[in-house]
């Protein structure tokens, strides 16, 4: 499975490298792998979805703690929550 450097992931997700480092620091989303020799962070393509959810929820005005709880939701529960947040944004 292809891994993306922090710079590549930042470009893919349209966020700064500093943002990804911050998310890692506060344990919001961690890299899939970290090289023990140089501490470089590597991400998987599946993590793009999680990062985009985080960005969306920040836009919706949720706190970091609310986002942390939300990104751990699965399936229909997550879909329902995102639909509700979308309605809140556009109301």
CATH code at position 21: 1.10.1660.10
- Domain that residue 32 falls in: 3-90
- Tokens representing 56 are 């969306």
What are the tens digits of pLDDT across the range 53-70? 899 889 888 899 989 888
CA 37 to chain centre: 25
Tell me the pLDDT band of 74, cut-offs 50, 70 and 90.
confident
- Tokens representing 20 are 């990804």
Q: How many domains does the chain have?
A: 1
Res. 88: pLDDT tops 70:
no
The CA distance from 14 to 62, in Å, is 20
The CA distance from 62 to 40, in Å, is 29
């Amino acid at each position: 499975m292809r891994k993306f450097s922090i710079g590549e992931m930042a470009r893919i997700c349209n966020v700064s490298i500093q943002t990804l480092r911050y998310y890692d620091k506060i344990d919001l989303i961690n890299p899939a792998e970290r090289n023990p020799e140089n501490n470089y962070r590597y991400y998987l393509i599946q993590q793009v979805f999680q990062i985009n959810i985080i960005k969306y929820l920040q836009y919706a005005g949720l706190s970091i703690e609310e986002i942390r709880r939300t990104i751990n939701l699965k399936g229909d529960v997550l879909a329902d929550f995102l639909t509700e947040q979308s309605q809140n944004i556009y109301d």
